[in-house]
A = this chain, B = another copy of it.
Amino acid sequence: MRVAVEEDIWHGGDLATARALFPEAPQPWIDLSTGINPIPYPLPALPLSLWTRLPGADDEAALAAAARAAYRVPDHAAIVAAPGTQILIELLPRLAPAGPVAVLGPTYAEHGHAWRKAGFAVEEAAAVPEAAATVVVVNPNNPDGRVMPREDLKRLARRSAARGGLVVVDEAFADFTPDLSIVPELPEATIVLRSFGKSYGLAGLRLGFAIAAPEQAAKLTAALGPWSVAGPALHVGALALADRRWLAAAGEARAGDAARLDALIAPHGRIIGGTGLFRLVETPAAPALFARLGRHGIYVRRFRDAPRRLRFGLPGDARAWARLGAALAADAA
């Protein structure tokens, strides 16, 4: 049911493609192709009423309160919950004035795609063009972990505000590095996206947020309509976002995992960036390494436009670490 134009985008997590590419690979697949925490937030008991009733205003308010506190949303800003950040990405073009859009890239392809679908001219560049009024920055960036300092973001926001434009800051991978977030001082003309599923390891739940000035937030809320977030997601999200201890421990544990991953893959390529949930590797042997791992039932993320790069997510258990280690140590044959 996907339209043709969307099928051009490669995403992580698509094990059906892995199986088709490597039908002989040992089972089960180890999926390192996403940036999702492999150790999820423990699912709480879910009262049946979360499933049976329409999502309640009380539950929506509890989630919003937990998210405001977790992301340190200032009083002058509003927060909108949605069934995943992706639908917010699709809606953002409605909030911007006509004119070209600059996407700081290379980055998560769905940003440029959404603006193009909405009829905008999109320029993806490694630096923000001087003339840009509307700018998209993934911060830290996926896949290379590049960070734009808060002062630079504020300067961008001032410029966009003066031009009637918009700065979109996608902080999908900022949970473990909260000091990078622009949310606490949300500048004018700025909309921040936060993704729940990645650091909490619950991507199937579908929960994301936009933090914006109240007028912009109201437009997103109106576009989503009522009850957009499912009852279970409201409940799990509210509990998890209030659990600072879990997040801090997860961030520390994943940083340890990332260091362990670095040591494993360093002999095979140059680690050129990443976040606490993934590492980006560059090597001329990337296609061969992708294929070797695939034959061992390990799926990593390759990039159509950057064939020398691979992104590695974190193994989730001892068996996955062992299989990754063995596959990397195996003969290249």
Task: State the A residues within 8 Å of B (CB).
Answer: 1-3, 5-6, 11-16, 31, 34, 36, 40, 43, 48-58, 60, 64, 78-81, 83-84, 86-87, 89-90, 110, 114, 117, 197, 201-206, 217-219, 221-233
Contact = CB atoms under 8 A, between A and B. Distances in A.
Contacts of A31: 53
A87 B90 CA distance: 13
B50 A222 contact: no
A187 to B, nearest CB: 21
B218 A231 contact: no
A192 B223 CA distance: 20
Given A90-B223, A222-B117, A53 B36 contact: yes
B84 A16 contact: no
B52 A203 contact: yes
Given A16-B58, A203-B227, 18 more contacts: A1-B218, A12-B54, A13-B56, A14-B56, A40-B51, A51-B204, A51-B205, A55-B206, A83-B87, A83-B206, A86-B227, A87-B87, A90-B223, A90-B224, A90-B225, A205-B230, A206-B229, A232-B232
Contacts of A15: 56
Contacts of A48: 40, 43
Contact of A5 (B54, B55, B86, B222): B222
A98 to B, nearest CB: 16
Contacts of A13: 53-54, 56
A204 B49 contact: yes
Contacts of A79: 1
Contacts of A224: 87, 90
B52 A40 contact: yes
A253 to B, nearest CB: 16
Nearest to A226: B86
B227 A206 contact: yes
A91 to B, nearest CB: 9
27 contacts: A1-B217, A1-B218, A3-B218, A3-B222, A6-B221, A6-B222, A11-B54, A12-B54, A13-B53, A16-B57, A43-B48, A43-B51, A51-B202, A54-B204, A83-B87, A83-B228, A83-B230, A84-B228, A86-B226, A87-B87, A87-B224, A87-B225, A90-B224, A90-B225, A114-B225, A230-B230, A230-B232
